[in-house]
Amino acid sequence: MPLVKITKEEVLTRCLTVFLKQGYHKTTMDDLSKACGVYKGSFYYYYPSKEALMKAILEQSLEYVEKNIFSVAYDADLSADERLKRLFDTQDNMLLGYGAGCLFGNTVLETALVVPEFREPMKAFFDLWEAALVYIFKAKMSENEARKKAVETMIRVEGALVLVIIRNENQYLKGIYQGILTEFQTKKDLKSIKKKV
């Protein structure tokens, strides 16, 4: 295999795909160096260990979703219904893009009890996701109801992803999104209800 020049950013992108498809524990440094087109010995120049690489991928992915996906929830130019739909659309592209589900959900299941270094970015992902959903749901619910609905939504989406992966059918996730959107769209805006009272 020829030695090629590759940036740290390219290493993260290529290795993300490998981890998504094979999982953390099954992936070897050999797999990762091949995906990057570099010798295994040279690969350590970029990251000293598989753990360091995965932590960097989780942190970069966290930054990406916060900036490009969860930020949709706070777009003041959109109605709450539009923000929820847009959030689901952008999230859908991320979750189904590689055909392997949610990097954070997969990594939690595989490593949460054995690799404590990953816990912080994984928790941060779910905290950001919950906060984005709560912010949207608060337009039509009390804060307490919005929090419950946000957690329920995350559970439903992650559960649907299991079926998407095992059965290779995207309709499960699309059905969950549509159900949540319909439930939300039929709720009256909390602010308009308060104005009438």
pLDDT in tens, the chain (197 residues): 445 678 889 999 999 999 998 999 999 999 999 999 988 888 888 899 999 999 999 999 999 999 999 999 999 999 999 999 999 999 988 888 766 788 899 899 899 888 999 999 999 999 999 999 999 999 999 999 999 999 999 999 999 998 888 898 889 999 999 999 999 999 877 555 455 54
Residue 37's closest CA among 58, 6, 66, 69? Answer: 6
> Could you tell me if 181 and 105 lie in one domain?
yes
CATH code, domain carrying 110: 1.10.357.10
> Could you tell me if 97 and 144 lie in one domain?
yes
> Could you tell me if 21 and 65 lie in one domain?
no
> Could you tell me if 72 and 103 lie in one domain?
yes
> Could you tell me if 120 and 174 lie in one domain?
yes
CATH code, domain carrying 42: 1.10.10.60
Q: What tokens were used for 181?
A: 């959107």
SS3 112: coil
Contact present, 139 and 80 (Cβ < 8 Å)? yes
> Could you tell me if 35 and 101 lie in one domain?
no
From its phi and psi, is residue 168 left (phi > 0), alpha (psi between -120 and 50) or beta? left
Rounded to whole angstroms, how far apart are CA atoms 73 and 58?
A: 21
With 0-12 / 13-18 / 19 or more C-beta atoms within 10 angstroms meaning exposed / middle / buried, residue 129 is buried
What domain range is 43 assigned to? 1-48
- Give Cα 5 to chain centroid, integer Å: 29
Is 5 part of any domain? yes
Q: Looking at the 3D structure of the chain, how many domains does it have?
A: 2
DSSP state of 188: P
> Could you tell me if 2 and 73 lie in one domain?
no
Q: What is the pLDDT of residue 2?
A: 42
> Could you tell me if 106 and 153 lie in one domain?
yes
Rounded to whole angstroms, how far apart are CA atoms 19 and 28?
A: 10
> Could you tell me if 39 and 86 lie in one domain?
no
Q: What is the pLDDT of residue 101?
A: 81
> Could you tell me if 67 and 26 lie in one domain?
no
Q: What is the pLDDT of residue 50?
A: 93
Euclidean distance between the first and the last CA atom of the chain, given in angstroms as a whole number: 72
Q: What tokens were used for 42?
A: 């040279």
Q: What is the DSSP string of 1-29?
A: -------HHHHHHHHHHHHHHH-TTT--H
Question: Considering all CA atoms of the chain, what is the largest pairwise distance in Å, rounded to the nearest integer?
Answer: 72
Is 117 part of any domain? yes
Is 53 part of any domain? no
Residues contacting residue 30 through CB under 8 Å, at least 6 positions apart: 40
